[in-house]
Amino acid sequence: MKKLYVVLINDNVIRSGLADLGRLADAELWLVSSPHYARRLTDEQRAAYARVVVPDDMETTDLVALLDRELPRPRPEQLRFLTNDESCELLCARLAEHFGAGGWPAARLLPFVDKMASKAALAGSGLRLPRHLRFDRDEHAADPRGYCERIAAEIGFPMVVKPVDRYASMDVRRLDGPAALRAWASWASSPKDRNSYEVDEFVSGTLYNFDALVQDGRVVWSNVCANLNPCMEFAAGRSLGVWTLPADDPAAVRVSEFGHRALAALRPPDGGVHMEVFGTPDGELVFLEVAARPPGGEMRAVYLRTHGVDIDLAHYLLRAGEPYAVRPRPTGELGAWVITPRRAGRVIAVDVPALRSEHTVRVHVSVGETVARASAHIVEPPSAEFMVFGADRAAFGHDMDLLRDLTLYRVEP
């Protein structure tokens, strides 16, 4: 066997079947998957892999022992460990080091896994960062009230607390005052909470995405998207949506310049990059976070339609070091993926809006159904999913405004 590419997935999702990865790279593909992701595999996705290995957990020691038994001998001439999942990035680096495989070192990947490391790498870049600090359990244990007072003095209210290495706004909270901070800090310091947290200044405004593909250290393709609402507002009952901005949009030009400057300082590995940047009401751009992967949701389908780029496939080929040429074919259309949250209660009416642009919608609630609980974060099933496309900017903007504050269904009072 000349080439074996082992794909690792724990929490994230692969939208592509990746059959083209094995064909274009002339490589055999294996998948090492957590049990909960393996249950979500479609037949098409499973068919892309010669082997699907489902360990009980995704810890390095266990995987080394498992793969030492499972990998063929003699070892393939080219062995790669690949992922689009932040929780597997450092694991891929450790496996590559153990098995003598090619890959990106952990130090190069860390700023794209640890939010504090990314901010440290951007210090001195001239780009605006939110005020931030790493939450220290030991300092809290030594002086709970005093430590919270020092955090409040340094960051100010409101503030945002979030795990340094998770995604999709999971376990992210906004804290508006000292009592809320003390209560959260007590919980975050307990043995029941295993996350490592950062505390950030709360920044409001429009959230933008800067998506890019990197090859040989250079950005070979990029695009800017706007979000209907920040991710953490999904749990508050507001839609989550991402839509492509025209390349000549003034905001897109500014965010693109910001993204390129940030990547010059961060030095990402080859492959996909997904960066989030806030545009404040007074026009300031503020870095939020970055990951070395393509964007999530159904943005692969959006970019295929609007730019002719398969960002998932490109990510894996570039990360593996394959001589892949990214050839965008822009269509001139704008595209969006939008999901709406669930609200608890018995559904008495579903109100699907009349959009002006071409669109498809999948509604996941029905009249008479009782929704047990509201959405806690964007990983949970939504009440509906919209895909919207169009070249008419005015009509498309109208549709985004309509979806931004959409209440999809009504429940009994």
pLDDT at 9 over 80: yes
Helix (H, G, I), strand (E, B) or coil at 396: helix
Helix (H, G, I), strand (E, B) or coil at 56: coil
pLDDT at 323 over 70: yes
pLDDT at 86 over 80: yes
H helices present in 292-337, as ranges = 299-307, 311-319
State the CB neighbour count (10 A cutoff) for residue 261: 15
pLDDT at 18 over 90: no
Q: Which residues of 122-153 are buried (b: 16+ CB within 10 A; e: fewer)?
A: beeeebebbebbebeeebbeeeeeebbeebbe
DSSP H or E segment with residue 33: strand 28-33
In terms of Cβ atoms closer than 10 Å to its own Cβ (0-12, 13-18, 19+), residue 102 is: exposed
> How far apart are the C-alpha atoms of 116 and 268, rounded to whole Å?
16
Beta strands in 159-270 (DSSP E): 159-163, 173-175, 197-201, 206-215, 218-227, 240-244
Mean pLDDT calculated for residue range 298-313: 96
Look at residue 183 in the predicted model and tell me its pLDDT.
97
CB 348 within 8 A of CB 371: no
> How far apart are the C-alpha atoms of 290 and 273, rounded to whole Å?
7
pLDDT at 380 over 90: no
**φ, ψ at 258 (rounded to 5°):** -60, -45
> How far apart are the C-alpha atoms of 159 and 167, rounded to whole Å?
18
Look at residue 250 in the predicted model and tell me its pLDDT.
97
Spatial neighbors of 133 by CB under 8 A, at least 6 apart, are 151, 154, 155, 198, 199
CB 278 within 8 A of CB 205: yes
> How far apart are the C-alpha atoms of 386 and 361, rounded to whole Å?
5
CB 229 within 8 A of CB 279: no
pLDDT tens digit sequence for 20-77: 899 999 999 999 999 988 888 888 888 889 999 999 888 888 899 999 999 998 888 8
Mean pLDDT calculated for residue range 280-303: 96
With cut-offs at 50, 70 and 90, classify the pLDDT of residue 16: low
> How far apart are the C-alpha atoms of 178 and 156, rounded to whole Å?
10
Q: What is the mean pLDDT of the chain?
A: 94
- How does strand 218-227 pair with strand 173-175? unpaired
Mean pLDDT calculated for residue range 204-212: 97
Mean pLDDT calculated for residue range 352-362: 97
- How does strand 218-227 pair with strand 206-215? antiparallel
DSSP H or E segment with residue 273: strand 271-279
CB 336 within 8 A of CB 386: yes
pLDDT at 334 over 90: yes
CB 293 within 8 A of CB 270: no
Dihedral angle of Cα 62, 66, 69, 74, to the nearest 10 degrees: -100
Alpha carbon 397 to its chain's center: 24
Separation in Å, CA 300 to CA 113, 140, 242, 243, 268: 21, 43, 12, 12, 20
Mean pLDDT calculated for residue range 82-105: 93
pLDDT at 17 over 70: no
Mean pLDDT calculated for residue range 307-315: 96
pLDDT at 342 over 90: yes
> Three-state SS across 231-253?
HHHHHHCCCEEEEECCCCCHHHH
Look at residue 12 in the predicted model and tell me its pLDDT.
72
Look at residue 105 in the predicted model and tell me its pLDDT.
93
- How does strand 3-9 pair with strand 28-33? parallel
State the CB neighbour count (10 A cutoff) for residue 311: 27
pLDDT at 15 over 80: no
Look at residue 84 in the predicted model and tell me its pLDDT.
92
Side-chain half-sphere CA neighbours of 263 within 13 A: 30
